[in-house]
A = this chain, B = another copy of it.
Amino acid sequence: MNPRDADYCSIARALAVVGDRWTLLILRDADLEQITRFEDFRDRLGIARDVLADRLAALVEAGVMEKRPYREPGRRTRYAYYLTPAGEQLRPILGALQQWGDAHRPPAVGPTVARRSARDDRPLHVAFVDDTGREVRLDDVRFTPTASYPA
């Protein structure tokens, strides 16, 4: 990757954390399905053990997940993986991916997971909003360079 990217592009820096083939699927299971254990991730994803160990360690290192000990009665202490606040804030990325997949790669069976408000059960979607909390149409969104933008 272009080294300028690491300096100037937040998208590239975010992708350095979540931009490989497995990480967002791991985070999906962690966030949407409350998966926390190595074997459960493995069973659900069918990911190779070594790759999973590597990805989880990288996510802990990146501050997106944390490893916490747990103990089931009559079992030894083991470790489970939980999202940190930084990890929970990846949720709009997952929501945006899901929304695009629903719209452009519809499954035969129809959407299987919906986004709804916990408070009043209204359906939710991911969108750009202004500083008053109002949704803005996609074609009103402009990405504009700031003073820090390189030549």
Specify the chain B residue showing the minimal Cβ separation from A28.
B11
Most interface-central of A5, A16, A21, A97 (chain B CB within 10 A): A97
Specify the chain B residue showing the minimal Cβ separation from A46.
B2
Within 8 Å CB of A113, what residues of B? 9-10, 143-146, 149
In the docked arrangement, what's the CA distance between A1 and B119, Å?
34
- Chain A: interface residue count, which band? 35 or more
Q: Taking the full assembly, how many copies of this chain does it contain?
A: 2
Check A136 against B124 for contact (C-beta < 8 Å). Answer: yes
Please tell me if A110 contacts chain B, counting CB pairs below 8 Å: yes
Contacting residue for A97 out of B10, B99, B117, CB 8 A:
B10
Sampled A-B contacts (10; CB under 8 Å):
A2-B45, A7-B109, A8-B107, A8-B109, A12-B25, A92-B138, A117-B142, A122-B132, A124-B131, A129-B129
